[in-house]
Structure 1
Amino acid sequence: MPVTEPVKQKKPGRGPAKCTEFNKLRKHGKIPLKISDGEMAPCCENVEMFTTRISWILKHNADMSYYRWTDVPKADKDELIERVRGDLELDWDLYNHRMAVMKALHKRFSAFHCGLHKKYLSYGSHEEALASGSILVNPLVWAKLCERWGSDSFKKISNQNRENRKKHNINHKAGRKSFVRILEEKKEMVEKMNSLEPEKRTEESVAAIFREVLGHKAGYAKGLGEMVIPESTRERDRQRDKEYATLVERHQKDAEYHKPTVEVMKGDMIKMMERQLETDKILRWLLAE
């Protein structure tokens, strides 16, 4: 009697996201978002919904055959942006609102690509992956991606990146800067803040200390992450020139105000000197007698 192998049952999973909570709120209008000045990410209770919706828009409308987000044509990016703007309350005149959407699209595009690659690696061979496909993208896109992932050049780069990541014992999040240097900078910033008088410990003072200790880098606030818009050098110089101009104008007004008094004092000094000269002449005459 032949022995039949038991059929393996697939473990239940979450399945594709359906944006149920989003659809409930969307019935009442666009989803409200709060993006504070100087930041490029939402800071409200709808943050997760913001990320989820952008992921959904990408998965259903983006052409994932492009290797990088920077390779996606501008027309395609504009279409995706319009879909995001159609669902979320955004002030598109504000730079940080525009950058919040662009950065989120960029990150979720890369994350979706990474997920597709993991799906490709889960198959036993390149041929099996190519034949099985994926429900997340259409067959033509999947074939193009498989062709890239199966190439020797991609495998070489992927293997090298994998080996490099294995050497990391700690997930370092500060670039090339060591933890020791981070602690030193923190200590230095605390000492500088403590040296200030309580009334001078303002947000401007904190920002100035950050710039002084951490240094400057165009388009990026060191130590504050990529979601914080830094104060540009040009804007800082413009503000400083404005303060100097205000200071000069105030001194000029003070000089004009005190000019009559100074003229009177000069006249009095001249009279005093003339009297002194007359007194000296009289004294010399008396001594001569």
Structure 2
Amino acid sequence: MAPRKKGRGKATGAMLEKFQKKGQIAVQVPAGARGPIAKNERLFKERVTYLVRHFIDVHYKSWSEVPKQDKEEIYARILGDFELDWHRHEDQACIKARMAYSFRSIKFHLHKLYKSYATKEEARAHPPEEVAMPIWEKCCDLWETEAYKIEEDKNMIEFYKRTRTRANSSWWVTPACEELYERMKTLYADRDPTQTSREIAEEVFRKVMGSKCGYMRGLGNSVIPIPSPSSRSYLVTQLTQEVERYKSKLKISEEKYDTLQNNVTTLMFQLASYHEKIDLLWSERNSQENSQDETLP
């Protein structure tokens, strides 16, 4: 096996401990995204990778096969470390997407390490430090199955098909890419002759490029794709938005009711004050009439 290159090594969480002394760490996830931006982005990614590496069994074939209980334990740890709202769609999608990515990345590097040995016996005898021997053996069992090897070869072929070829130090632009570009230009010019609206440009881009399951082409993994009207996630999103609208209307109605109730209470106090004044004036008038009657012969 070739000697490893010297690098910065695995994250130990020293920076996280420094920030945790001040409380939870702020993380910003924009609307419509499932990835953090700007401040503490790298710290968030390193922490999630650390938790997945040390608290999730990596012998499962895919992230979807990891038990729900194991995932929920990591969710709780992340929510305890960072200022994220689990009930916000973007924050929840950010946590789930990053954990899945970290799991795949760890499995990729472990498989790469496994293949670096000359024989499978040698690979089995040298598990990584962070992986227990029973887990490493289960991983090796998975990688040595015929079904996994066939799938690996298939994925490799698809990768090379998608890889762009180079010639004369420049990238070739395929006819398909030119066609997509011309379609976007035409649609954008039809819908916005001034070509100044960013929202229309994004709508045209999404319409032309389309989307795969859970992925928006051309916009990266951090963008939450717009679900199709027939999908369950679309219905959930629509219902969630309706609930939020009803909550907003209910809040406005409650505020109006409180204002009316305060106004009615104020009017009742004023009315009671007027009644007291009227009773007092009436009593004084009766007293004056009685005194005049007594003075008459």
TM-score range, shorter chain: 0.5 to 0.7
Note closer, same or farther for the CA distance 1:114–1:181 as it changes in structure 2 (3 Å cut).
same
Match of 2:82 in 1: 88
Match of 2:16 in 1: 22
Deviations 1:198-229 (A, max 9, x none): 4x844443344335444577865454344323
Note closer, same or farther for the CA distance 1:100–1:122 as it changes in structure 2 (3 Å cut).
same
Post-superposition offset of 1:122: 1.7
Q: Using the alignment, how far apart are the partners of 1:109 and 1:89 within structure 2?
A: 22
Q: Which ranges of structure 2 fall in alignment gaps of 5 or more residues? A: 166-172, 239-297
Post-superposition offset of 1:189: 2.8
Match of 1:209 in 2: 204
Match of 1:190 in 2: 185
**Mapping for residues 1-289 of structure 1, pairs under 5 Å:** 12-166=6-160, 169-170=163-164, 179-195=174-190, 196=192, 198=194, 201-214=196-209, 221-232=216-227, 234=229
Deviations 1:119-156 (A, max 9, x none): 11122211112222221211110111112222333334
Q: Using the alignment, how far apart are the partners of 2:99 and 2:158 within structure 1?
A: 27
Q: Using the alignment, how far apart are the partners of 1:155 and 1:9 within structure 2?
A: 26
Post-superposition offset of 1:81: 1.1
Q: Using the alignment, how far apart are the partners of 1:68 and 1:129 within structure 2?
A: 21
Q: Using the alignment, how far apart are the partners of 1:193 and 1:97 within structure 2?
A: 32
Q: C-alpha root-mean-square deviation of aligned residues, in Å?
A: 3.3
Q: Does the CA contact (< 8 Å) of 1:193 and 1:201 recur in 2?
A: no
Post-superposition offset of 1:77: 0.9
Match of 2:251 in 1: none
Note closer, same or farther for the CA distance 1:158–1:97 as it changes in structure 2 (3 Å cut).
same
Look up the equivalent residue of 1:91 and give its one-letter code: D
Q: Using the alignment, how far apart are the partners of 2:163 and 2:226 within structure 1?
A: 35
Q: Using the alignment, how far apart are the partners of 2:72 and 2:61 within structure 1?
A: 18
Q: Using the alignment, how far apart are the partners of 1:213 and 1:111 within structure 2?
A: 30
Q: Does the CA contact (< 8 Å) of 2:84 and 2:91 recur in 1?
A: yes
Q: Using the alignment, how far apart are the partners of 2:217 and 2:163 within structure 1?
A: 24
Q: Using the alignment, how far apart are the partners of 2:73 and 2:8 within structure 1?
A: 29
Residues paired across the two proteins, number: 224
Q: Using the alignment, how far apart are the partners of 1:161 and 1:128 within structure 2?
A: 26
Look up the equivalent residue of 1:121 and give its one-letter code: K
More strand by share: 2
Note closer, same or farther for the CA distance 1:212–1:73 as it changes in structure 2 (3 Å cut).
closer
Q: Percent identity?
A: 30
Q: Using the alignment, how far apart are the partners of 1:22 and 1:162 within structure 2?
A: 37
Q: Using the alignment, how far apart are the partners of 1:71 and 1:169 within structure 2?
A: 30
Look up the equivalent residue of 2:41 and give its one-letter code: V
Q: Which ranges of structure 1 fall in alignment gaps of 5 or more residues? A: 1-7, 172-177, 239-289
TM-score (norm 2): 0.64
Look up the equivalent residue of 1:210 and give its one-letter code: F
Note closer, same or farther for the CA distance 1:204–1:29 as it changes in structure 2 (3 Å cut).
same
Q: Using the alignment, how far apart are the partners of 1:160 and 1:222 within structure 2?
A: 22
